[in-house]
Amino acid sequence: MTRYVPDQKGKVWDVGAAGVVVHAERVLLVRHTYGGAKGRWVVPGGFARQDELLDEAAVREVWEETGVRAEVLSLIGMRTRYVPEGGAIFCFFLMRPLAGEVAPDGVEVDAARYFAAEELEAMELAEIAALSRVAAITALQGGGGLEEVPCPPLSGAAYRAFFTC
């Protein structure tokens, strides 16, 4: 997409990303305060801005929602959907924390903490979004995913490529 067209929302593809942050065999989740995931635990994430790459969006969303600075290790999943009103692509990036204490932003999320695999598996779907559980368990089980590979410049455009290594 080359520009944001507000009156076309729902008629164009939405693009977003999430950070699946793993530390000490636990995954960082947030509890949303709004929308379809209100009251449920999800991996931190959201829509990409027009001027950022998807992995950058994941890093930003983790920081904004949790106060944790993290770096991308690999792309471990993607969700795509299409409905007559439009479609969406959402990428899940495996990340590791670099700095910061976990603190919910108090706006989009009212809680944030790390969960062990046993806790995730015991949660009901009313408590955790299904794809967030899949992403979290995949990350904890060592799903290597696609790793960023060095790429030559492409017509001056910013891009990153992820492939199975």
Query: Which pLDDT tens digit goes with each residue over 12-58?
Result: 678 999 999 999 999 999 999 999 899 999 999 999 998 999 999 99
Query: Which pLDDT tens digit goes with each residue over 86-125?
Result: 778 899 999 999 999 999 999 999 999 999 999 999 999 8
Q: Which of 13-17, 80-84, 129-133, 137-141 has the lowest mean pLDDT?
A: 80-84
Whether the Cβ atoms of residue 18 and residue 94 lie closer than 8 Å to each other: no
Q: Which domain holds residue 34?
A: 9-164
Alpha-helical regions (H) of the chain? 54-66, 117-122, 130-140
In this prediction the pTM is 0.84
CA 156 – CA 55 distance, rounded (Å): 19
Q: What's the CATH number where 118 sits?
A: 3.90.79.10
How many domains are there within the chain? 1
Written as six digits, the tokens of 70 are: 């993290």
Task: Please report whether residue 81 resides in a domain.
Answer: yes
Whether the Cβ atoms of residue 54 and residue 46 lie closer than 8 Å to each other: no
Task: Please report whether residue 1 resides in a domain.
Answer: no
Whether the Cβ atoms of residue 93 and residue 84 lie closer than 8 Å to each other: no
